[in-house]
Amino acid sequence: MISFRKKIVTQASQSFTFSRRAFFLSAAQYTVGGLLVARMGWIAIAENEKYELLSESNRVNLTITPPRRGWIVDRKGLPLASNRTNFRVDIIPDRLQNRERVLADLTRLLNLDPNSVDRINEDLDKAAGFLPVQVADDLTYEQYAAISVRLNELPGVAPAQGFSRFYPAGPSVGHLIGYVGAASAEDYQKTKDPLLITPGFKLGKQGLEKSLDSLLTGKPGARRVEVTARGRIVRDLATRPDTPGRSVKLTVDAGLQAFAGRRLGTQSGSVVVMDCQTGDILTSASMPSFDPNSFSDGISHLEWEMLSGDERVPLRNKTLTALYPPGSTVKPMIALSFLEAGLSPNDTTVCTGALRVGNRLFHCHLRRGHGTVNMHRAIEQSCNIYFYYFAQKIGMNAIAAMARRLGLGQRFDLPFPSQSYGTVPDPGWKQRKYKQDWQTYDTVNATIGQGYMLVNPTQMAVMAARLATGMDLAPHLLVDGKRHAGQPLGIGLDHLTVIRNAMKDVVNGGGTGRAARLDIPDVQMAGKTGTAQVGALSASGRGNASRPYRLRDHALFQGFAPHDNPRYAIATIIEHGGHLDRNQDAPMISGDCITYLYDPAKAMEKLETLEKSWGGTPQQRLERQLNAFRVAKGLAAAPISAEAANAANAAAPANAAQPGGASEGAGEENEEGGGDRPLSEIVQPSGTGGAGAPETP
């Protein structure tokens, strides 16, 4: 039964209910308040530093300043790579908005050409969001100011004032010094160093700039500025200057380096000059080359395409990474091995123009023969038959041992990431490599610098220096305050004297290197010419002039001066030169480079006359070559500098003239013969690409 009794509400019960509700409400309020106070205390005390930094970052902008790179200077302190003040504009992809409009405005303000716009678009497509993309460098102050006053309209655009790398000698030092460039995304991922993504910072990409990058890179500076919420600078708060990198001093002579690069003319080749007293490398020139200023500023894809497709391989450092058969330049070394093995310099043989070895006929370059020849005459006249005959009696092991003592096949401690060491073949080497026995014809080919034997130009210069001094000189490129005189090779002075006298007559007597004679009082060059066959074409009677460029013989020269008290050693190799132009052949180039060391004015006067017929300096020719390439691609030619235009006009009549005639070393064309050896058995030098080429942009 349900009760309907009415509940009696008293004042006491109402007071109790109110008090209980008030208690719970107050407790809740105190709890929430306590939590708020605790949180505020935590933020204000425990996390004070964190929020203070966040607040400061909203008010203060910290910008890293790229450090200036250390200079690279020559032995006299003259700059080979320096820094110059410049204005630039970059784009930070993460901050870029309305890309098409921004690029259109930049194109209008900076007068960007279509190639530059295409390059910027490609770089933006490839770049990580944090990696700055260079828009333009080396701007005028007016262009820099035009961008700076419009920053609110150009989100993501970052103008800056800094330093750019400058190479005064241009292409002449391209392979030696290398170049710098912006860090790639891969570079950043390796170290996560924020300096690598700082606009304007560049690191070494090739050559000495790369191998010495840790020394040349300094410590970055910093700039703290107060900014508004929109990023506008209010005032500078503090600035910490950068610390420049260390300067590096080379053994190179800047004047000789530039001269050698220019003296190679229109040929593809290299010149290496060493100091016979210390082993210092005075020049290491490889031409044609690239302009390192173009790479450092951001090379266009058009210029890269032109350089990478050039059959003369301007992207390859020929002094260390190109390999060639040394040809007859090794005959003094071969003769020295004969002497050390007990052969008398007066022993003779009869050269009739050919010698049968087994069922093959090996020729001398003088088909009618030299008659009776001893060692002196064999070197002076570069008689193949003498070396064919006595090499079979002495054997290849003695020859190979002497080649290694004189630096062939050797790796040198030089600050370059890659070297090609070449090959000094012997019976053991052939068995290891080809699982074949050594044959007599292998010895015959090796004695005239053909067959399997390969060297690079630096090794050939070392061979010349060691023949000149009898010391185990090693090449050095960095000045370290030490004297590197080398140790005796243990070769008798009487044997060295026989070789040196014969090499003297190669140049100053009736030998094959008369074009290398020096017009310097009381200074005579000793040397040896060489011709390295690229293919077995000489037997067909087909001369170099009628062959395609890639099938012409290489022209070589190695020597030293003065012959009676050697101070300088030189090696010059002209790729596919074929002895077709006397003025651009290895002997005369070598003679002029040595002349520069004694009489720079005389050497420069001759060079400037020659350059008028070549179309100007390497920089001027490279500029015109790029313009011709642009026209061939259907693009408008870029305006050339007044200096280049003047050189082109001055050279116009001379360019129609014939080359200066055959070299006096041209009589040695095909001197190595090669007999009936199949083309497949002749080892070819590498011709394209390879280690040492600049990275693809």
Catalytic residues: 328
Please, are residues 503 and 526 in contact by the beta-carbon 8 Å criterion?
yes
Give the HSE-up count for residue 537: Cα atoms under 13 Å, Cβ half-sphere.
Answer: 17
The tokens for 507 are 């140049």
Structure-token match 């309305």, residue found: 98
Who's near 555: CB < 8 A, 6+ residues apart?
A: 529, 530, 531, 573, 574, 577, 578, 579, 585, 586, 663, 665
Residue 11 CB neighbour total at 10 angstroms = 7
Q: What angle do CA 404, 410, 411 make, to 5 degrees?
A: 165
The overall longest dimension of the chain from CA atoms, in Å, is: 153
- DSSP string across 314-369: TTS-HHHH--B--GGGGHHHHHHHHHHTT--TT--EEE-SEEEETTEEEE-SSTT-
The tokens for 587 are 């002997």
The tokens for 495 are 């044997």
Please, are residues 582 and 514 in contact by the beta-carbon 8 Å criterion?
no
Give the HSE-up count for residue 415: Cα atoms under 13 Å, Cβ half-sphere.
Answer: 23
454 secondary structure, DSSP code: B
Give the HSE-up count for residue 602: Cα atoms under 13 Å, Cβ half-sphere.
Answer: 13
For the chain, helix (H) and strand (E) counts, in that order, are: 25, 19
CA 397, CA 633: separation in Å to the nearest integer?
Answer: 55
| Percent composition of the chain: helix, strand, coil (DSSP 3-state, to 5) | 45, 20, 40
Please, are residues 607 and 684 in contact by the beta-carbon 8 Å criterion?
no
The tokens for 76 are 């006299």
Residue 243 CB neighbour total at 10 angstroms = 12
What φ, ψ does residue 568 adopt, rounded to 5°? -125, 140
The tokens for 496 are 């060295």
Q: What angle do CA 687, 691, 693 make, to 5 degrees?
A: 85
Rg (CA), the chain: 36
Q: Specify the 3-state DSSP secondary structure of 264.
A: coil
Please, are residues 531 and 324 in contact by the beta-carbon 8 Å criterion?
no
Nearest to 384 by CA among 573, 530, 590, 495: 530
43 secondary structure, DSSP code: I
